[in-house]
Structures are given as structure tokens and as C-alpha cells.
């Protein structure tokens, strides 16, 4: 439903799925906040529904879901198998997490620009940053706006 795996050079990549092809997700919302500090007595009622699309998607026509593969972005909270909501209408800025196509290969990295030098930076010290060489072919495909992953594997 979310993606199709394909080969791009030596890298496994996923075909993005446009969000307008996925049914709206409307869920009930609890009326009380959940405290991350000390427990508080819980109210057992719902305050209404919440439309996840309204909160997660800025522009349906340019928003896609892609699946992350690998561990290079773990310190940014992106883990192997996570779904990334990517908006192609956002102009990439220094510090954004982006989906990039570098010399024909897809990657998710943090975009850095310093004095005219562009780098794609991993968020895991086991992976080197990639400084973009002058003759490299770089396309920023989209900006990651949300990361979806399970709180625990059940």
C-alpha cells in the first residue's frame, strides 16, 4: 500500500505513494492530555475526532510517503522501516532533512550549506557526511515533514 521497492544502482529505493491515493484517517481524540511526568487521573471520555491529514499534510498534491531503509539517520529519530512524509512543494533550507537524489541514488540526509558548499549529513557517527563535488548531479526531491514509526514493535 505505501511503497514499491526497486533497485537504483546498488541502493534499494522505494517508490513514493502520493497521499491523495490514501483514504483520510480520522480518529477519536482524547479530551485530556497525557502527562510525561507524574501520572494524573485519566478522564474516560473523547472530545471528538481528529483528522490526521489536516495535521500532517500541508499540500496533498505534493506530499508523498516513502519508507526509510538503514540507520544513517537514527539520531534524527528516523529508523529502518519508518515512513517519512515528504512535501515536494517546500523549498529546502539549510538544516532540513531531505530526500536527495545524488548521482542517481536516493538518500535521506540533513541538508547543510556553508559558504557555498553543500553537504548531505548523516545523523549517525558511523556514517560520513557527503560533501557535494562540483560535477555531482544533486536533486533535492523533497523535504521530510514528519516521521512515522511505532513506539514499540508489537
Active site residue 152: no
Compute and round to an integer the Cα radius of gyration of the chain. Answer: 18
Catalytic residue among 62, 72, 119, 152: 72
Distance between CA atoms of residues 21 and 137, nearest Å: 31
Tell me the C-alpha to C-alpha distance, in Å, between residue 120 and each of 67, 72, 76, 105: 18, 11, 14, 13
Catalytic residue among 109, 113, 119, 136: 109
* Catalytic machinery residues: 72, 109
Amino acid at each position: 500500500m505505501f511503497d514499491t521497492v526497486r533497485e537504483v544502482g546498488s541502493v534499494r529505493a522505494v517508490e513514493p505513494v502520493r497521499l491523495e491515493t490514501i483514504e483520510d484517517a480520522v480518529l477519536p481524540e482524547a479530551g485530556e492530555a497525557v502527562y510525561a511526568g507524574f501520572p494524573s487521573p485519566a478522564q474516560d471520555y473523547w472530545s471528538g475526532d481528529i483528522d490526521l491529514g489536516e495535521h500532517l499534510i500541508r499540500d496533498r498534491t505534493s506530499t508523498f510517503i516513502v519508507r526509510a531503509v538503514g540507520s544513517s539517520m537514527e539520531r534524527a529519530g528516523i529508523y529502518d522501516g519508518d515512513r517519512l512524509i515528504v512535501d515536494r512543494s517546500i523549498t529546502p533550507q539549510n538544516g532540513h532533512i531531505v530526500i536527495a537524489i545524488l548521482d542517481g541514488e536516493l538518500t535521506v540526509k540533513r541538508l547543510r550549506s556553508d559558504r557555498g558548499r553543500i553537504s548531505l549529513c548523516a545523523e549517525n557517527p558511523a556514517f560520513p557526511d557527503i560533501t557535494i563535488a562540483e560535477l555531482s548531479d544533486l536533486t533535492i526531491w523533497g523535504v521530510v515533514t514528519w516521521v512515522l514509526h511505532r513506539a514499540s514493535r508489537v
